[in-house]
Structure 1
């Protein structure tokens, strides 16, 4: 058991509970490192065939914790240090995507920003009917990073990925199901139970062909993903220095409509 995570095991199924102990369940740098290490702990695990990742009973995650001092002070560092510090989010998502086990994300409540990026790194998503997804980065003057864009294109297709990523609007569970972001929608409070039931189906199968099939499917769908994401940290660092990004933050704090200039 870590500070923010708890792992349960039942036969060939493992459940990872992520809980910051607050109402937001946001992703601090320390929490992201812990989630990365939890994922990596399964790399040599030959007894587990399926892993369920879930947040709290109320919410999955509000995304990156901008109040975290480690994240908040990045802008005061040099570009090289900022670029290095920004590895923590994509490394977390990559660690979950690389797992040979089937990964199922159970989502209740909100799943925002980095929370949606983490969910997209899993193989399958199951959401409660009141859950919603949102990416606020672009309306706040930043770009979507964490190697998420091609993953979302894989799930949604290019047109719907543009709607979801660029507009930054809420994507409620029913539409997320219709668009392909989630594979199943259940009654509120039942996402974890449904994810565990599905995980058990994978756990009942012979583990070797399950792992090999997942890898071959992923290679067919995602072979080019690294080629289009290797610079997204640099893009994020660039947009974070723009006047539009500062204007977006100021407008949000002042509760007014931003005036963007492209500077």
Structure 2
């Protein structure tokens, strides 16, 4: 991949593609531009049959401190009805869908703060490893918006379970890596200095797998995971988020 990205660092190491969120001054906040660049990377993945694994990580002190809220007033100024915000929300949904459904195995390397949209990006990866100092939070209710980013709610319910998700969403509390592992948000927790070694223990056997077998296994896991889901209400996430932000903005002005 030869793109000159502004918000990502992308390195191709044989069968492993490493994608690092690279706006550390903002805590790697997820902006519209970052979503565009992630879509470009993920859209090209299945055309490169040599890649077996994608590792998603963050530059600086944190993996990702959430969505770039500084964009919201500007988008609402462009269109008070929220069309631009809905477009941003739909873009987030496409990124998360691509992480979950791409043929390659996606691995999240987590450290520092993992907040809001950062939890969403990590959650849609197949495997998640975190440093023992990593901190997590789903702050949406505290910010006056619903937890409607990228289709995160059904994924959380499936991976973590309804009772535990209810408590995390309603309290918006911080929780640590050990708790995240208990909740199945993390598959493994190690000291940060050992994080790359932990990922290597996954990557080494994965790159030897048949690409057809990996692709089929992912298709099966995704299909059976949705077998009991009668409808996906997260399709309305972009609409819900834009409506909530529009109301909040008008209330502040009033």
- 1:62 to partner: Cα distance: 0.8
Residues 46 and 115 of structure 1, relative CA distance in 2, 3 Å threshold: same
Contact persistence 2:88–2:238 (CA under 8 A) = no
1:226-237 → structure 2 map (5 Å cutoff): 227-237=232-242
1:115-126 → structure 2 map (5 Å cutoff): 115-126=118-129
Q: SS where residue 23 of structure 2 aligns?
A: coil
Q: What is the aligned counterpart of 1:174 among 175, 178, 191?
A: 178
C-alpha separation between the residues in 2 aligned to 1:35 and 1:155? 23
Establish whether residue 136 from structure 1 lines up as the match of residue 142 from structure 2.
no
TM normalised by structure 1 equals 0.85
After TM superposition, the runs of 4+ consecutive aligned structure 1 residues lying more than 6 A away are: none
C-alpha separation between the residues in 1 aligned to 2:85 and 2:25? 27
- 1:226 to partner: Cα distance: 6.3
Establish whether residue 183 from structure 1 lines up as the match of residue 184 from structure 2.
no
Residues 225 and 212 of structure 1, relative CA distance in 2, 3 Å threshold: farther
Q: What is residue 74 of structure 1 aligned with on the other side? A: 75
The CA deviation string for residues 232-260 of structure 1, in whole angstroms up to 9 with x for no partner, is: 2222223224469958xxxxxxxxxxxxx
Contact persistence 2:80–2:246 (CA under 8 A) = no
Contact persistence 1:18–1:54 (CA under 8 A) = yes
Q: What is residue 110 of structure 2 aligned with on the other side? A: 107
Unaligned stretches of 5+ in structure 2? none
Aligned residues: 245
TM normalised by structure 2 equals 0.88
Q: CA RMSD in A?
A: 2.2
Residues 57 and 82 of structure 1, relative CA distance in 2, 3 Å threshold: closer
Establish whether residue 87 from structure 1 lines up as the match of residue 110 from structure 2.
no
Establish whether residue 43 from structure 1 lines up as the match of residue 46 from structure 2.
yes
Contact persistence 1:51–1:102 (CA under 8 A) = yes
C-alpha separation between the residues in 2 aligned to 1:96 and 1:245? 34
Q: SS where residue 206 of structure 2 aligns?
A: helix
Q: What is residue 157 of structure 1 aligned with on the other side? A: 161
Q: What is the aligned counterpart of 1:240 among 241, 245, 254?
A: 245
Contact persistence 2:73–2:249 (CA under 8 A) = no
Establish whether residue 27 from structure 1 lines up as the match of residue 30 from structure 2.
yes
- 1:85 to partner: Cα distance: 3.5
Residues 226 and 182 of structure 1, relative CA distance in 2, 3 Å threshold: farther
Unaligned stretches of 5+ in structure 1? 248-263
Contact persistence 1:50–1:200 (CA under 8 A) = no
- 1:130 to partner: Cα distance: 0.5
- 1:23 to partner: Cα distance: 5.3
Q: SS where residue 15 of structure 1 aligns?
A: strand
C-alpha separation between the residues in 2 aligned to 1:225 and 1:98? 19
Q: SS where residue 190 of structure 1 aligns?
A: helix
